[in-house]
Chain A
Amino acid sequence: MSEKVKVALYWCASCGGCEEAVVDLGEDLIRLSNMIDIVFWPVAVDFKRSDVEEMPDGSIDISFINGGIRLTEHEEMVKLLRRKSKLVVAFGSCAQTGGVPGLANLLSRDEILRYIYVEAPTVVNFEGSMPKEEVAVTSRHKIELPRLLKYVKALDQVIDVDYYIPGCAPTPEVVRRSLEILLGGKLPPKGSVLGASNKSLCDECDLNKTKPEKILLKDVKRVHEVKLDLSKCYLAQGVICLGPVTRGGCGTLCIKGGMPCTGCSGPLDNVKDFGARAISYLASILDYEDEVQARKVIEEYIVDPVGWLYRYSLPKSLVRGKYQGLESDKHE
């Protein structure tokens, strides 16, 4: 096959870090450009939605989609890309498990809009104007705006996804390894997580061997409250590290930089709910005599348990988010 591999890249509710992750490939990008043809990449290349619509179905070899599904526009675009692509790869935590934007599921859509457009202290909005889906510009012309969905969703909650590349954002090494697999022609089973390990982060962490025989935490500290010894397992120092629950492959970059793992690479294959696993392991190693003491410590140090343990995965958790009506209209 002499033809280059046709690749599309798209972003949904994302911070742009995943786009950055592609750029971070550096000189490899040049080598890559000999192998691939970019047919769609809004952030860098000037193609329009209509260009994609005109492509024959299945003509894109691989679509890399990052970001969570937040707007009707995202839904439309990923469905379009699905139709046009042979393979769809969820790129980064937001696409894989909903990501940080997914924490918005703790609030209802109305609460979010009201706060952002009316209540926030820095907002001056005397009329209480709210965004509309349709605005008449002249008597004959109107513009449409995409609507905020009820829930932020992970990519595979909207379309069929073939592979996942984990990380917030995926490290260049994870991206490189994933591309090698995808372009190498020997594809792993559908649904595989690419470029990473199937063991938890502890497996590749240099500090794992410094872990004491037993870790039972009497005292939990937040990272700013303690002078971490960077040569010893952070968990053993009372700082909660999510490395044990998190898929390895990132090379423990955060830990090497003096920060405990926050779990961006998501859970391992056989774990259904990241946060539930994390709670389960934390509860097991917190060593308190009674509930009263445990509650006090938890309230004091684990101030935002959902934001912390489900930082990247609330939409894919069993609880999903704030209840906003019946199951039947959930997908609205």
Chain B
Amino acid sequence: MSDVRIGVYVCHCGKNIGGVIDPAKVTEFAGKLPNVVVARDYMYMCSSPGQSLIEEDIKRYGLNRVIVAACSPRMHEPTFQGVLKRTGLNPWLLQMVNIREHVTWVHDDVPQRAEEKAKELVAAAVARAAHLHEITTEKFPVVSSALVIGGGIAGIRASLDLANAGIKVYLVEKKQSIGGKMAQLDKTFPTLDCSQCILTPLMVEVSRHPNISIYAYSEVVDVSGSAGDFKVKVKLKPTYVDWDKCTGCGTCVEKCPGRAPKEFDEGLSNRKAIYFEFAQAVPRRPVIDAEHCLWFTRGICRVCEKVCPVGAIDYSQKERYVELNVGAIVVAIGYELYDLSKIREYGYGKFKNVVSGLQFERISSADGPTKGRILRPSDGKEPKTIGIVLCAGSRDEKHKKYCCRYGCAAALKHVYYIKHSIPDAKVLILYTDIRAFGKGYEEFYQRFRGEEDVFFIRGRPAEIFENKDGSLIFDVYDSNTGQLVNVKADLVVLEGAVEPPKEWESLRRLLKVSCDPGGFALELHPKLRPFETTSDGVFLAGAIQGPKDIPDTVAHAAAAAAAAIGFLSKGYVESVPYLAFVNEDICSGCGLCASVCPYDAITIEEKEGKRVAKVNVINCKGCGTCVATCPSGAMQQNYFTDTQLLSEVVSLAGGVK
């Protein structure tokens, strides 16, 4: 395309642009620039008549470059690319000039200079437009299956939605049972449904679904390939029980003499060395904990082997690996509780009667260590005064800056547990703010706000001390009344901060997903694309994207599943237009581009005995890191070549005469 024919279209954007500068003057200026065949201004270029204006000009004047000086390309680049497409022009022959966000919105105090800037930017775009070239994208097929990592409520919901849409789902869970944190809860706020009653049917549905394969007690150890065609390596940790033979009868568990703290009860009770995670576990298969098993630690016992009616015990089992091929990955690994012992002044881990909210759930739960009776851990006595500390580690510069988003409602729920079980108990809620934001939460809050013997104190305990009898004393400054309150409590419950699970750091590197300042997965857009990531084909479900309560988690998981279904059912993935490409005549195969590529999209290959870089078109996201790194200028990027950028810069440096 040697004959460059440019059309320049200057938008008023109502008063957004037209109220500060005179678009007609910019248009007049543009009309005199080299290669510009036609220049026009219009009130709303993105409107239907505005688009038709461009469309007709392209046909009438045989334009082969279109410059639209309007808003941000993030806003309307696709709109105007559509105009080019409709006339048969390649959409990448469009050049947007942002004279709204970059000019009129920020320089409305100096309109004259703003107009000069608009002209300079248009001139730079005209200089650049001559070097634009057509860009075509490639399409690649996708594998219609999905991996869901994490079997909590988010993973369960996402798996079921995907499976019901006819997609094969592999659900990988690190523990021996799916269910996650929700299985440990007694009730759920604000409706106070029994947590297990609403969760376990879904767990069973997952286990019976023909489209779902569960890999429990497993971890994702490697991810390669690319969106639509991931190769995933899953490690199956040794359970020392042949789960195919095992019927889940539980005789082994009953007879096992080994003991260890029960994780499911947050360490408040003991389990056996061979154990089910909990009674309603799915899959209901036991695991031997080699650290506490007498055979593994002392070479004696082997009772489980003797009593197993089907001969499923296998002490020689080793870890195994399976390779999965999936088109999409849904990350639903949830959260972990922050280590509350790091908040030294609260004495968690030191004082037995300072418990976490999750421990309190176990204490309140009918299948928990106290069979649902609220008794304090130190002596099994019924507590009469209970302090509930909110924001324990949350909204705290020293610990986690962000809000846990469950603590307020959980604390209110815990008031319900206490008043329901011990009607004459006194409850003190030590809060910073009560954030009752969800549907029905405010009503839930009001229900307890007026209740007898429930005190809302706005403040955090200074330091908690333990009395000889196990009770706890602390001072708290109530900022509502301006009083220093001296509290003696029999039990203190900390509604603790949350953080991403430990394995997230390595997993996110495999998936090439960034994280936010709190360490949680970074979504593609906080408002508009909260369940997608910058890694195509990788979706986020639930609390790994940020702290969430159950209703939000389920909604988020269903949205992630819908996005994954949409991605898979489209049937193909398309390469990005801003692809990096190598000039093989210059490339020396030094490999620095491959070193810095965050998407593993570059490999160094042998070609006629020489090393050269090769860009994997599916993996490349067009970030440009390799282009900036390339020491020899061999790596270039579509739509941002050195020539294109330089022509723009040179024009800007020259200014407007």
Contacts and interface: CB of A to CB of B under 8 A. Distances in A.
Interface stretch (B301-309, B416-424, B452-460, B591-599): B591-599
Given A215-B595, A285-B595, A277 B631 contact: yes
Given A203-B610, A270-B586, A270-B642, A214 B629 contact: no
Contacts of B642: 270
A50 interface: no
Given A208-B611, A280-B628, A285-B595, A203 B588 contact: yes
Contact of B592 (A209, A248, A270, A284): A284
Interface string B352-378: 000000000000000000000000000
Contacts of A270: 586, 632-633, 642
B591 A213 contact: yes
Contacts of A285: 592, 595-596, 629
A200 B611 contact: no
B611 to A, nearest CB: 6
A208 B632 contact: no
Interface in A122-170: none
B628 A284 contact: yes
Given A200-B588, A203-B589, A281 B633 contact: no
B135 interface: no
B585 interface: yes
A90 interface: no
A200 B595 CA distance: 17
B629 A284 contact: yes
B595 A244 contact: no
Interface in A268-290: 268-271, 277-278, 280-281, 284-285
Contacts of A209: 611
Nearest to B610: A203
B625 interface: yes
Nearest to A280: B628
Interface string B581-614: 0000111111110111000000010000011000
Contact of B588 (A214, A244, A278, A284): A244
B630 interface: yes
A198 interface: yes
B629 A280 contact: yes
A199 interface: yes
Nearest to B643: A270
Contacts of B628: 280, 284
B633 A244 contact: no
Contacts of B631: 200, 244-245, 271, 277-278, 280-281
Contact of A271 (B585, B587, B632): B632
Given A199-B632, A281-B630, A268 B591 contact: no
A261 to B, nearest CB: 11
B585 A198 contact: yes
A269 B586 CA distance: 9
Given A199-B632, A271-B633, A280-B629, A215 B592 contact: yes
Contacts of B590: 200, 202-203, 208, 211, 243-244
Contacts of A211: 590-591, 604
Contacts of B591: 202, 208, 211, 213-215
B596 A284 contact: yes
Given A209-B611, A284-B596, A284-B628, A199 B588 contact: yes
B628 to A, nearest CB: 6
Interface residues of A, number: 27
Interface residues of B, number: 22
A248 B625 CA distance: 24
Contacts of B632: 199-200, 244-245, 268, 270-271
Contacts, number: 85
Nearest to B646: A272
A201 interface: yes
Contacts of B588: 199-203, 208, 244, 248
A201 B586 CA distance: 11
A216 interface: yes
Nearest to A245: B631
Contacts of B589: 202-203, 208
A214 B586 contact: no
Interface in B564-591: 585-591
A192 B407 CA distance: 70
Nearest to A271: B633
Contacts of A215: 591-592, 595
A208 B588 CA distance: 9
Contacts of B585: 198-199
Interface in A191-240: 198-203, 208-209, 211, 213-216
A96 B300 CA distance: 81
Nearest to B606: A209
Contacts of A278: 631
A248 B596 CA distance: 23
A281 B610 CA distance: 21
A268 B633 contact: yes
Contacts of A271: 631-633
A203 B586 CA distance: 9
A269 B633 CA distance: 9
B655 to A, nearest CB: 15
Interface in A172-203: 198-203
Interface in A16-73: none
Contact of A214 (B595, B610, B625): B595
Contacts of A202: 588-591, 611
A199 B587 contact: yes
Contacts of A277: 631, 633
A213 B586 CA distance: 20
A209 B596 CA distance: 18
- Residue of B594, B628, B630 with most chain A CB atoms under a 10 A cut-off: B630
A284 B625 contact: yes
Contacts of B633: 268-271, 277
A281 B587 contact: no
Interface in B617-657: 625, 628-633, 642
Contacts of B586: 198-200, 268-270
Contacts of B610: 203
B371 to A, nearest CB: 48
Contacts of A200: 586, 588, 590, 631-632
A6 to B, nearest CB: 35
Contacts of B595: 213-216, 284-285
Contacts of A245: 631-632
Contacts of A248: 588
A295 to B, nearest CB: 20
A218 B630 CA distance: 20
A285 to B, nearest CB: 6
B476 to A, nearest CB: 37
Nearest to A199: B588
A274 to B, nearest CB: 9
Contacts of B592: 215, 244, 281, 284-285
A188 to B, nearest CB: 15
Contacts of A280: 628-629, 631
Contacts of A281: 592, 629-631
A278 B628 CA distance: 10
B626 to A, nearest CB: 9
A213 B589 CA distance: 11
27 contacts: A198-B586, A199-B586, A199-B587, A199-B588, A199-B632, A200-B588, A200-B590, A202-B588, A202-B589, A202-B611, A203-B590, A203-B611, A208-B591, A213-B591, A213-B595, A214-B595, A216-B595, A216-B596, A245-B632, A248-B588, A268-B632, A271-B632, A277-B633, A280-B628, A281-B630, A285-B595, A285-B629
Given A198-B586, A200-B632, A202-B589, 8 more contacts: A202-B590, A203-B610, A208-B591, A213-B604, A214-B591, A215-B591, A245-B632, A281-B592
6 tightest A-B CB contacts, nearest first: A203-B588, A202-B590, A245-B631, A284-B629, A244-B631, A200-B588
Interface of B: 585-592, 594-596, 604, 610-611, 625, 628-633, 642
